[in-house]
Amino acid sequence: MTAHDQMRAMLDQLMGTGRNGENNRYQVKFSDTKVCKSFLLGCCPHEILSSTRMDLGECPKIHDLALRADFEHASKTRDYYYDIDAMEQLEAFISDCDRRTEVAKQRLLETQEELSAEVAEKANVVHELAEEIGKKLARAEALGEEGLVDESLKLMGEIDELRKKKLEAEEVYRNSMPASSYQQQKLRVCEVCSAYLGIHDNDRRLADHFGGKLHLGFITIREKLDQLRKSVEERRTQRKAEGRDRDREREREREDRSRYRERERDRRSGRSHRSRSTSRSRSHRSRDRSRSRESRRRDR
Ligand SMILES: [Zn+2]
Ligand SMILES: [Zn+2]
């Protein structure tokens, strides 16, 4: 990006499409179906995973920072329910990815030399310690870059402990099989991004994986999906509760009305005690009918 492009992007982000009225490149509003709703919410996988090994190419829908700014402004006073669109897109994307992970695991089961349950368990201990080291190392490096030296050093201390444990676990694993088998790379599939991780991968390689744009991008997408699911669910419960309140309110009004009518009738006709009771039971019946109609309507 040139300095000029960068400046332009920054202004778009700040001002929306209103700036001089000249920067609405696509001649659409953010609510247009051609606009990517996930992008407006900052979670389009096409953007998050761009220039990684899993680059999805350009999003088929419009991405425009100025439209995102318009949306952010407008959504302060109105709910557009775009979280539902975004949730659906991310759900489809993640379930695709999880399917790939299952296929990769299956392929490993078919192609990797099978280990006995006991040895597999030992291999898993090594895998898990290695992955923990990789994650912490990536985190420590990120903290160091942010200038949080103390936190970073604390993590490095924890990593030293884990390395000792891993050496022991490797020893146990190595002693459980012939040397030639031990040499073979044993792979495992990363549950987050479905990449392959090897049991002989060194700390550096694992840190690059766990601190890399691909793996972190998947974490961002998965976290965002959790958030969206939660907010959509909350709103659904809220709407349902409001609906129930409305129904109850309507019911009460209806009862009041019929009671009033009944009293009016009684007053006007000056009926006897007996006939009043029949009229009341009739109104009960009609109330029951209207109630069951109401509940049928709600079930639909
Ligand atoms: Zn998009
Ligand atoms: Zn990963």
Q: Are 225 and 53 in contact (CB under 8 A)?
A: no
DSSP assignment of 7-18, as one string? HHHHHHHHHGGG
Q: Does pLDDT of 4 surpass 90?
A: no
Q: What is the mean pLDDT of residues 64-91?
A: 93
- Confidence label for 19 from pLDDT (cuts 50, 70 and 90): low
In this model, does residue 59 exceed pLDDT 70?
yes
Distance 10 CA to ligand 2 centre (A): 31
Mean pLDDT of 116-145: 93
Residue 300 has a pLDDT of: 41
Bigger pLDDT: 91 vs 117: 91
Among 90, 30, 28, 39, which residue's Cα sits nearest to residue 63? 39
Question: Which residues, 6+ apart, have CB-to-CB distance to 269 below 8 Å?
Answer: none
**195 C-alpha to ligand 2 centroid (Å):** 6
Distance 75 CA to ligand 1 centre (A): 19
Summarised one tens digit per residue, pLDDT across range 184-243 is 889 999 999 999 999 999 999 999 999 999 999 999 999 999 999 999 999 888 888 888
Q: Which ligand is nearest to the CA of 210?
A: 2
- What single DSSP character describes residue 19? G
Q: Minimum mean pLDDT among 9-13, 88-92, 239-243: which range?
A: 9-13
Angle 149-155-159 (CA atoms, 0-180°, nearest 5)?
140
pLDDT of 298 reads 44
Q: What is the pTM of this model?
A: 0.72
- H helix intervals, the chain: 3-15, 37-40, 45-48, 65-74, 82-111, 117-145, 149-174, 179-183, 203-210, 213-269, 273-299
pLDDT, tens digit, for every residue of 256-289?
A: 888 878 887 777 776 545 444 444 444 444 444 4
CA 65–ligand 2 middle distance (angstroms): 29
Query: For residue 243, what pLDDT is reported?
Result: 83
More confident residue, 294 or 160: 160
Tens of pLDDT, residues 62-71: 999 999 999 9
For residue 93, the CA-to-ligand 1 centroid distance in Å is 12
Of the bound ligands, which one is closest to the alpha carbon of residue 197?
Answer: 2
What mean pLDDT comes out for the span 249-258? Answer: 83
What is the pLDDT at residue 96? 94
Residue 211 alpha carbon to ligand 2 centre in Å: 9
Residue 290 is predicted with a pLDDT of 46
Whether the per-residue pLDDT at 295 is higher than 90: the answer is no
Output the CA 62–ligand 1 centroid distance in Å.
7
pLDDT at 36 over 50: yes
Give the CA distances from residue 28 to residues 24, 64, 66, 95, 166, in Å, rounded to whole numbers and listed in that order. 7, 10, 11, 31, 56
